[in-house]
Chain A
Amino acid sequence: MTTNAPAPIVTRQSLADRTRQLIPLITLVLMYVATVAIAPGYFEPQQIGSLLQLSSILGVAAIGQTLVILVGGIDLSVGAVMTLSNLIAATIMAGRDSSLAAAVVTVLLIGAVIGLVNGLIIRCLGVPDLVATLATMTATMGIGLLYTKGSPKGSSAPALVSLVTTRFAGVFTGSVIVWLFLAIITIVLLKRTRYGRFIYAVGLNREASRYSAVPVNATIMSLYLTSGVTAALGGLLLTGYTGSSYLGSGDSYQMQTIAAVILGGTSMFGGRGGYGGTMIGCVITVLLVSVLRVVGILDAGQSIAYGAIILLMLILFTKSSKGKQP
């Protein structure tokens, strides 16, 4: 039976799914309230704007990671792709608006290629996603080093900088608008299209999906391709934010995208969750980093905090989903 319009999915959400959606939101609210209680400055539009600004960079990069994790995979190359796109974009732009378009196109293409390579290695060569993306991550790092010969040059085009940093209404920056736009597309894609249903199907039960004529290979490969592109986009926004390029600039985002996805309630095993949760996870992550910085705990503490929180969230969410399985 074929229909042109996708039928609305009429399913009652299980308690586990509802919990999955609520916990991140509650966590965010509690965290924010606690933060404002300690440092009232966080309630000001200026600060909220900064939080959103940083969330948008992470958020865009986390789109791909969410999609990949939803099918039960993982992409460890996101950070490296962000770094590479930062390095390349800055070099091409060299501070000129005229080269902005060229830089954007180049960087997105490179992200797409890397994502495609990931997809091909994983589906055609049968390499497990962990190893494949670890390998591409390493190779991408090397390419970045080779490209810049160890010393990054160039700087961002002013237009890009203003997109990411100028605010209107005192709170929103252009990058936040871009993020929201992409977020809406992603959420609609996941919840309302056949493609989205394929994604959840593959994530929940790959074998059954294959027998149900779901194009498993094409779906998974396209998701890794998307991940590469969104990572590159994230790198572009990062370039606008920092104004120039640094070796390893995107590396810290790797852990953060995974953290955001997990904190957002998406299951590491795939098939449960969504991008809305990731968005909340992004804000939680950014808020956490910001708070740590204010309290005076820098890189070391952040690293420890991430690890601890991820473990905690894993335990929380895995218990809730394991408990409900037949």
Chain B
Amino acid sequence: MNPVFVTLRREPAVGVASAALVLLFSIWILTTPNLTVLSFTITMAQKVPLTLVAAGQAIAIMSKGIDLSVGAVLTMSNVVIAAGTAVTEHSTILWIAAALGVGLLAGAVNGLCVALLELPPLIVTLATQSILFGAALYILPRPGGVVETWMVDAPLLLIGPVPLVLIVMVLVPAMLWYPLRRGRFGLALLSSGADPGAAFASGVRVKPTIVMAYMLSSLFSAIAGILVTMNSGSGDATIGTSYTMNAIAACVVGGVALQGGRGTVSGAIAGALLISFITNLLFSMGVNAYWQYVITGIILVLAISVPLIGKLIRRGGEKS
């Protein structure tokens, strides 16, 4: 049976999020004056980092955890590249590798603390977030650093008619996640998230799976940080602060269950794009930028509570 339909039936939230996304996307295309390929590309380039962070966050949440350090990993990635390139010119590739390394290390620490030491993911990632933000501030106390020209030009590139950033948004999850999802890891992750005890009893290696989940989460965030560096052209130790919250909201909107064991990365990506487009629309309607915060909070609460209320109503209707 067509895997897309199977997924949609199992996770209706993904369908809803995608439908809403298509709607908003169309509205945006129709109502934006002077829409050129360039402005479209620039706009999409701004949205892609959040989709990647949300994808990683979804993986962590599916393991029955949460990763509050994603924003900080993104920031570290940005700061390492910008500060590093300022020190040694023309070795950006080296610093990109370093940024990815830092991300993987952070993910490993998170994963080990949660899986081996059995510490609550919330506090662990809160602590690592604190450490990483502090480290970023230490490396780059003031915004600055150097980003090579080819990095800054990259988001504007087109491959044929398609913006490179869109290709990246599709390729990165496709290469890093979907092979894992279809293989043993996907099953291991979801079963560990749904019921770790049962999973362990069924022979699933729960602990390594959880470590891997957090490492993937941080890896995605580190990659997002590379993109953010390309977008902004400089380093800023505060750049990632809003990403954590928005990524969690994106996951929730995209149907990832906070109690773990359910959800899809594509849902999280759709959720991220949805939230970005909502913000865009509000901005172009002239809504004060400060309302974004309030609205994100409300969206988050609504996105979680609506399915729960639906379940309550259904359960109430079933009682005879």
What is A's interface to B at a CB cutoff of 8 Å? 74, 121, 125-128, 130-132, 134-139, 141-143, 145-146, 150, 255, 258, 262, 268-269, 299-308, 310-311, 314-315, 318, 322
Q: Does B115 contact A (CB under 8 A)?
A: no
Selected contact of B297 from candidates A135, A255, A305, CB within 8 Å: A135
Contact, CB under 8 Å: B288 / A301: no
Contact, CB under 8 Å: A300 / B123: no
Contact, CB under 8 Å: A130 / B122: yes
Contact, CB under 8 Å: A310 / B127: yes
Contact, CB under 8 Å: A145 / B293: yes
Contact, CB under 8 Å: B119 / A315: yes
How many angstroms from the CA of A304 to the CA of B294 in the assembled complex? 29
A residues near B294, Cβ cutoff 8 Å = 138-139, 142-143, 146
How many angstroms from the CA of A262 to the CA of B123 in the assembled complex? 10
Selected contact of A268 from candidates B120, B132, B248, CB within 8 Å: B120
How many angstroms from the CA of A158 to the CA of B294 in the assembled complex? 33
A residues near B130, Cβ cutoff 8 Å = 255, 303-304, 306-307, 310
B residues near A137, Cβ cutoff 8 Å = 297
A residues near B131, Cβ cutoff 8 Å = 303-304, 307-308, 311
Contact, CB under 8 Å: A126 / B305: yes
Q: State which of B134-142, B144-152, B184-192, B209-217 sits at the interface with chain A.
A: B134-142
Selected contact of A300 from candidates B66, B137, B290, CB within 8 Å: B137
A residues near B119, Cβ cutoff 8 Å = 311, 314-315, 318
- CB B288 to nearest CB in A, in angstroms, measures 7
- CB B200 to nearest CB in A, in angstroms, measures 17
B residues near A127, Cβ cutoff 8 Å = 301, 304-305, 308
- CB B52 to nearest CB in A, in angstroms, measures 20
Which are the 9 A-B pairs with shortest beta-carbon distances? A142-B293, A303-B134, A307-B130, A139-B297, A307-B131, A304-B134, A142-B294, A300-B137, A300-B138
Q: Does B245 contact A (CB under 8 A)?
A: yes
Interface size on B, as a range, is 35 or more
Q: A139-B293, A146-B288 are in contact. List 17 more A-B contacts (CB 8 A).
A: A127-B304, A127-B308, A128-B258, A131-B248, A131-B258, A132-B301, A145-B290, A300-B137, A303-B130, A304-B134, A305-B134, A307-B128, A310-B123, A310-B130, A311-B127, A314-B123, A315-B117
Q: Does B8 contact A (CB under 8 A)?
A: no
Contact, CB under 8 Å: A135 / B300: yes
Contact, CB under 8 Å: B296 / A310: no
How many angstroms from the CA of A131 to the CA of B299 in the assembled complex? 11
The total of interchain contacts (Cβ-Cβ below 8 angstroms) comes to 134
Interface string of B91-107 (1 = CB under 8 A from A): 00000000000000000
Q: Does B280 contact A (CB under 8 A)?
A: no
A residues near B245, Cβ cutoff 8 Å = 134, 138
Assuming the contacts A74-B122, A127-B305, asked whether A314 and B127 have C-beta atoms less than 8 A apart, the reply is: yes
How many angstroms from the CA of A307 to the CA of B109 in the assembled complex? 12
Nearest B residue to A77 by beta-carbon distance? B297
- CB A181 to nearest CB in B, in angstroms, measures 30
Q: Which of B204-250 contact A (CB under 8 A)?
A: 245, 248
- CB B276 to nearest CB in A, in angstroms, measures 16
How many angstroms from the CA of A303 to the CA of B186 in the assembled complex? 35
Selected contact of B127 from candidates A139, A302, A307, CB within 8 Å: A307
Selected contact of A142 from candidates B124, B128, B291, CB within 8 Å: B291
Assuming the contacts A125-B304, A127-B304, A300-B134, asked whether A306 and B122 have C-beta atoms less than 8 A apart, the reply is: no
Contact, CB under 8 Å: A269 / B120: yes
B residues near A299, Cβ cutoff 8 Å = 134, 137
B residues near A145, Cβ cutoff 8 Å = 290, 293
A residues near B288, Cβ cutoff 8 Å = 146
Nearest B residue to A141 by beta-carbon distance? B293
Nearest B residue to A72 by beta-carbon distance? B120
Q: Does B37 contact A (CB under 8 A)?
A: no
Q: Does B22 contact A (CB under 8 A)?
A: no
How many angstroms from the CA of A315 to the CA of B140 in the assembled complex? 30
Contact, CB under 8 Å: A121 / B120: no
- CB A95 to nearest CB in B, in angstroms, measures 25
Q: Does B177 contact A (CB under 8 A)?
A: no
How many angstroms from the CA of A273 to the CA of B312 in the assembled complex? 35
B residues near A74, Cβ cutoff 8 Å = 122
Contact, CB under 8 Å: B301 / A121: yes
Q: Does B277 contact A (CB under 8 A)?
A: no
- CB A301 to nearest CB in B, in angstroms, measures 6
How many angstroms from the CA of A154 to the CA of B271 in the assembled complex? 40
How many angstroms from the CA of A16 to the CA of B291 in the assembled complex? 47
- CB B48 to nearest CB in A, in angstroms, measures 22
B residues near A130, Cβ cutoff 8 Å = 66, 122, 258
Contact, CB under 8 Å: B296 / A138: yes
> Which of B122, B123, B248 has the most chain A CB atoms closer than 10 A to its own CB?
B123
Q: Does B309 contact A (CB under 8 A)?
A: yes
- CB B255 to nearest CB in A, in angstroms, measures 14
Contact, CB under 8 Å: B298 / A139: yes
Q: Does B278 contact A (CB under 8 A)?
A: no
How many angstroms from the CA of A150 to the CA of B258 in the assembled complex? 34
Contact, CB under 8 Å: A131 / B252: yes
B residues near A150, Cβ cutoff 8 Å = 290
Q: Does B46 contact A (CB under 8 A)?
A: no
A residues near B295, Cβ cutoff 8 Å = 142
- CB B62 to nearest CB in A, in angstroms, measures 15
Cβ contacts A to B, 15 pairs, < 8 Å: A131-B300, A136-B297, A137-B297, A139-B298, A142-B293, A142-B296, A262-B123, A269-B120, A303-B134, A306-B134, A307-B127, A307-B131, A310-B123, A311-B113, A314-B120
How many angstroms from the CA of A314 to the CA of B121 in the assembled complex? 11
- CB B44 to nearest CB in A, in angstroms, measures 25
How many angstroms from the CA of A132 to the CA of B298 in the assembled complex? 10
Nearest A residue to B128 by beta-carbon distance? A307
Q: Does B118 contact A (CB under 8 A)?
A: yes
- CB A70 to nearest CB in B, in angstroms, measures 15
